[in-house]
Amino acid sequence: PGTGKTETVYQLARQTGRDIMRVDVDKIKSCWVGESEKNIKALFDRYRNICKNSKLAPILLFNEADAVLGVRMEGAAKAVDKMENSVQNIILQEMETLEGIMIATTNLTTNLDKAFERRFLYKIRFDKPSVESRAKIWQTMLPDLSEHDAQTLASQFDLSGGEIENIARKHSVNAILKGNDSIDVQEIINSCRHERLSQNNRPKIGF
């Protein structure tokens, strides 16, 4: 999380002058029998119509794609599992004839069905930024931060770009509340420790 997958899609769209058609998986899935399948078919029908009426094909974005492109259930008996398989089979069929641009992002690559993986022309891994990249992100997010302090933060904390952005936002909020926009490096260090602590101690939820 926070390594720039979704932001990369936005930048691709911006640089090529394309719109993004973002898929809301929660709205596609329905508790009613057959509705989810209708919704996914309608989604691709809508995308095709948009492509026909546009000079540039928009980007069809499945964010957090593992929620809908996960491994199919063999011998599915439960209605929910059957519905998931039906939706996935429809998406696979649509991908075979899709004339446009479809991008899917996920943090759980092992959860993707191999049939989907084969149909994507490019698979790009987003690792956490290097120390040098982190230092640049720090200085971009907090321009008043000195090069030395940015390098120190980058070296001490193996944070993603998203995590650094969260900390920078907290700093901005605190600066507004305190009426002081000067850089307090120790306060930022404490925020870094808390950011990582909150990630590691997040409670596990299971059903």
10 Å Cβ neighbour count for 64? 17
Fold of 5-119: Rossmann fold (3.40.50)
Mean pLDDT in residue range 34-61: 92
Mean pLDDT in residue range 157-185: 89
* Full-model pTM: 0.76
Q: Residue type for 56, please?
A: L
Q: Which residues pair with 20 in a beta bridge?
A: 59
- As a whole-number percent, the residues of the chain with pLDDT over 90 amount to 53
Per-domain residue ranges for the chain? 5-119, 131-200
pLDDT of residue 206: 42
Per DSSP, 23 falls in state E
The architecture that CATH gives domain 131-200 is: Orthogonal Bundle (1.10)
Separation CA 9–CA 64 (nearest Å): 13
Per DSSP, 70 falls in state B
Is the separation of the CB atoms in 138 and 15 below 8 Å? no
Separation CA 160–CA 107 (nearest Å): 13
pLDDT tens for each residue of 97-117: 999 999 999 888 777 778 888
Q: What is the pLDDT of the chain when averaged over all its residues?
A: 85
In sequence order, which ranges of the chain are alpha helices (DSSP H)? Answer: 5-16, 25-28, 35-52, 79-97, 114-119, 131-141, 147-156, 161-178, 185-200
User: Which three-class secondary structure state does DSSP give residue 48?
Assistant: helix
Torsion angle, alpha carbons of 97, 102, 72, 36, to 10: -80
